Structure formats: structure tokens, C-alpha cells
Structure 1
């Protein structure tokens, strides 16, 4: 729990349904996800101010059984919420035995919350749009390059 100016925010359990409802209301460019390994909420009193949804990597090449992906992270703009959720997601993934946690941000996003939570920038990844047989008929997110960040067990 972190207290700033008399306001306490804390990590709380949350269902996928609740997390997806929050994403539907607040996320700038992504919608809900269909599945997850776990979700974590961040609450100020009774109010949810952020969520992180963690699942298997979207890229089948990274789905090695030891890696998870932050598929959605969304907040209402509360201070330090993103970095708290990224940190909580990594601690939970590690506690479950996973060795690596990855996520992607748009090239136009700065990544400050990820760096504040100790994540390492791996560099540019992915393309502007989905390609191949599973390509959606309508873009599901802005057509920008992505940047991959990760946390990894070392040693």
C-alpha cells in the first residue's frame, strides 16, 4: 500500500470480467481480452483505479511455457498506478514460477512507468499491423511500431 497526501492505493484481487470492464471504460486504444492467467487490480478505497491483465504471449514464438505477457495495463491516471501494477505483475509471475514477463508499448509512448518498475527495454518489435491468415479486417490498435520491455530472472 502506498499513501500519498492521505490517499491510500493498494493491490487487490480482481476477476477478468471486472478487469475487462475497466479496460472497456478507460483504455485509450485497446479493448478487453478473451483470456488470462491472472489479473490484478489497484484500488483507492472501494474504487478501482487500475488493472493489469497477464496471459500467455501473443507471439507463439515466445510462448515457451516460462514466459507471460502483460496483455493489458490500464489506469484512470492515478499517480504511480502503472509502475505499481507492472511491479505487482512481475512479482506474481515470478511467484508462479515464470522466468520472464514481457509487454509491448506503442513507439509514441515513453515507457517511464516500465523503467520506474525496473523493466528493461529490449527494443523495437512487431510491425505496424497484423499480417497473415489471422489478420483482423479492421485495425485493433494504432498502426505504429511497438517497443518490447521485459523482466527476466537472471542467474
Structure 2
């Protein structure tokens, strides 16, 4: 789907969430009648430490509350980025969020020191948990 459409959906459903500056692509989920119920923006990692050419990042995920829309989007984005040649997909949750949909899609919490990011010192930032799903085996 067009990235601008995904940005507009994010602004409509989650006005408090700032849309990321850059994104490689967007996916959308529709209900049976064709109504857009969720979007995911995916791109390059925002943290330079993960910008290794093998890693993509879920930059934003928003739904209208439709049951399982986020699970469907997360489940669809991983095979797509693998097909594009990426070996790892990362995402962040706020420390107080459960991450159930990420877990169900195969993501796992990255252990500390990389799994917990205390960015509360920067304006508007909160502590976050890093999640990742990766290709098993190989050289890396």
C-alpha cells in the first residue's frame, strides 16, 4: 500500500504517535468488506547499532482496534523482509506494553543490555523493550 496512506491511517487512529520520517514500505490489513483496519510501516533501523544491512525495523504499527489485525500485519511483514534479503526484523514496545502480538508472531525479547532502552532522558521518550525475530543458522 502507499506509504502516505499508511501515514494518514496512523494519524487518524493514533494522533499521539508521530509517524516515522522514513519507511521502505507499508502493509495494510483489510476487513472482509475491504475497510482498512491496520497498517505497518517498515524500514531501516533507527538505531545506528542495528543498521547493519541485515536488519529491518517495524517503525510503526497502528490498527483501529480490530481483533488480530496487528498479529496479521506482523505475521505478513516477516516473510516479506526475509524475501527481500533481511535476516532480522526488530520492533520496540513501551516498557508497560505486553508485546503479546509480537510474541505470537515469533518475536522474542532481546536480552539486556540491548533489550531495554532507557531513553527517558530525551524529551517525549520512554523506556522501551527491544524485540527481534531472525533467520536461524548461517554465518551471522
Q: Which has the larger share of strand? A: 1
Shift of 1:30: 1.5
Q: What do you get for the CA RMSD once the two structures are aligned?
A: 1.5
Q: Does 1:65 align with 2:53?
A: yes
Gaps of 5+ in 1: 1-13, 132-137
- For 2:81 and 2:53, locate their aligned partners in 1 and report how far apart those are by CA, in whole Å: 12
SS of match in other structure, 2:53: coil
Shift of 1:130: 6.0
Q: 1:34 aligns with which of 21, 24, 49?
A: 21
Q: Does 1:54 align with 2:42?
A: yes
**What does residue 101 of structure 2 align with?**
113
Shift of 1:128: 3.1
Q: Which has the larger share of helix? A: 2
**What does residue 125 of structure 1 align with?**
116
**Contact (CA 8 Å) 1:16, 1:35: kept in 2 or not?**
no
Q: 2:4 aligns with which of 3, 9, 17?
A: 17
Gaps of 5+ in 2: none
Shift of 1:62: 0.6
TM-score scaled by length of structure 2: 0.88
